[in-house]
Amino acid sequence: MAQKQINESAQMAVIGGSWGSLKIILAILENLRNDFKISILIVLHRNSDYKSKLTDLILYKSGKQVFEIEEKEPIKPGCIYLAPAGYHVLIEKNKTFSLDYSEKINFSRPSIDVAFKSAAIVYQQKLICILLSGANSDGADGMEFVEKYGGINIVQNPEECEMPYMPLQAIKKNKIDFIYKSTEIADYLNKLL
């Protein structure tokens, strides 16, 4: 495991997860300081067959306001964004979001790989990507891009994951900068401030 320093120049954190990751996302956000300055994008595998009130749940459980992404929405510092169910999320060079309805990747739309790759190209060394619990390999290929463009890769410690397959695939395929327990992820993000 590499030992990069805290990336104090970070502008964007992308958090990807699937099975077993919602409770970790809630814990991270609940422990995040209110004066955080970076943008956070959450890409969560979820069922697109029904309209959920996930943004309301996140606000209720974590106390943090989350915005479901809209097409061409500008990315603002300090805001938390949620990928809408059924759409891939791309980040444009002018730092706006773009939504895409192309084929599923790793059986998923939104795909964590798509978001990680897109964010890596735009934010490069100012990007942190965090991969949580999940049952497929989505995110592992995207982390390869993050490494290539100089960003930081963090995975949830597989030993604490409800479904460790996703972080294990990322560890197997990539040079991961930090393997953290969920509490350590929030601590890392808070240190960026």
Strands 66-68 and 80-82: parallel
pLDDT for res 143: 97
pLDDT for res 58: 86
**pLDDT tens digits for the chain (193 residues)?**
444 666 678 999 999 999 999 999 999 999 999 888 899 999 999 876 555 688 888 888 888 889 999 999 999 999 999 999 999 999 999 999 999 999 988 888 999 999 999 999 999 999 999 999 999 999 999 999 999 999 999 999 999 999 999 999 999 999 999 999 999 999 999 988 6
Q: Which of 39, 111, 133, 138 is catalytic?
A: 138
pTM of the model as a whole: 0.93
CATH 3.40.50.180 assigned to domain 12-191? The reply is: yes
Q: Which of 39, 45, 141, 177 is catalytic?
A: 45
Whether omega before 77 lies within 30 degrees of 0, making that bond cis, reads no
**Alpha helix ranges (H) inside 45-91:** 54-62
pLDDT for res 61: 84
Q: Which of 18, 62, 111, 118 is catalytic?
A: 18
What value, to the nearest 5°, has the Cα angle with vertex 60 and ends 15 and 181?
A: 35
Q: Which residue has the tokens 């099975």?
A: 19
Asked if 88 is an active-site residue, the reply is no
Asked if 177 is an active-site residue, the reply is no
Asked if 138 is an active-site residue, the reply is yes
pLDDT for res 2: 44
For the chain, what is the radius of gyration of the CA atoms? 15
Q: Assign residue 19 a region (left: φ > 0; alpha: ψ between -120 and 50; beta: otherwise).
A: beta
